[in-house]
Amino acid sequence: MLLDDLNPQTGNCRRLIDAWRPWRGDNLVPQRADMRLEDITDILPWISVADVISESEITIRLAGTMIREVLGVELTGRNLLDLTEPEHRPARGARSVQLTTQPCGAIWVWNLAFADQNSRPAENLSLPMLPNEAGRPMQMLNVFGMLSTKDPPLAINREQQVAPSVQHSFIDIGAGIPEG
């Protein structure tokens, strides 16, 4: 999928892509210092930033308050893959590395479990960012939004695994997309 063809279903994902495009300007990828938080104040609670170190280490540097509310756990400082079911870790790690080395974006849908035992689909958008300091790992800027129009339900009172995606597409931001 080409960046210009991207049409996210949730307002959160649309807001992030609308802000990310000007941040990068004529560059392929913006530097984190190019982010203007005032452009995304309304979705900051849904934003996370992760350092993509390797296929086995994706450190979440920042996770917004709604992520904690919805998932029921603080993610800041955690390895995303520790929150992923073991059989899905290789695919999630590989996709994250592909996103930052290609570089490209990704959009996907996954199901979240909640206290009432229901699950609801969420849309997630990930876009690459250059770190502010040379020699640091590339970063993923992420946002998610609930596809249901209902208020987010109560989180389960235990750490849940981040489910695998039920639909995933890489987004060509100008450098192509990974094969396969």
DSSP string over 58-122? EEEEEE-HHHHHHHSS--TTSBGGGGS-GGGHHHHHHHHHHHHHTT-EEEEEEEEEBTTS-EEEE
pLDDT at 136 over 80: yes
- Between the alpha carbon of residue 138 and those of residues 19, 53, 77, 98, 105, the distances in Å are 19, 8, 16, 11, 13
User: What are the tokens at 166?
Assistant: 């039920």
The region of weakest confidence among 53-62, 84-93, 95-104 is: 84-93
139 alpha carbon, distance to own chain's centre: 10
The per-residue pLDDT for 147 is 86
Give this prediction's pTM.
Answer: 0.89
User: What are the tokens at 23?
Assistant: 């941040």
| DSSP symbol at 130 | B
pLDDT at 71 over 70: yes
The per-residue pLDDT for 112 is 74
Residue that is written with structure tokens 């029921």 in the block: 72
Confidence of residue 160 (pLDDT cuts 50, 70, 90): low
| DSSP symbol at 10 | S
Query: Tens digits of per-residue pLDDT, 25-52?
Result: 999 999 999 999 999 999 999 999 999 9
What would the CATH number be for the domain defined by 3-171? 3.30.450.20
The region of weakest confidence among 13-22, 67-76, 145-154 is: 145-154
User: What are the tokens at 157?
Assistant: 């009172």
Whole-number mean pLDDT of the chain?
88
Mean pLDDT of 66-81: 86
User: What are the tokens at 52?
Assistant: 């993509």
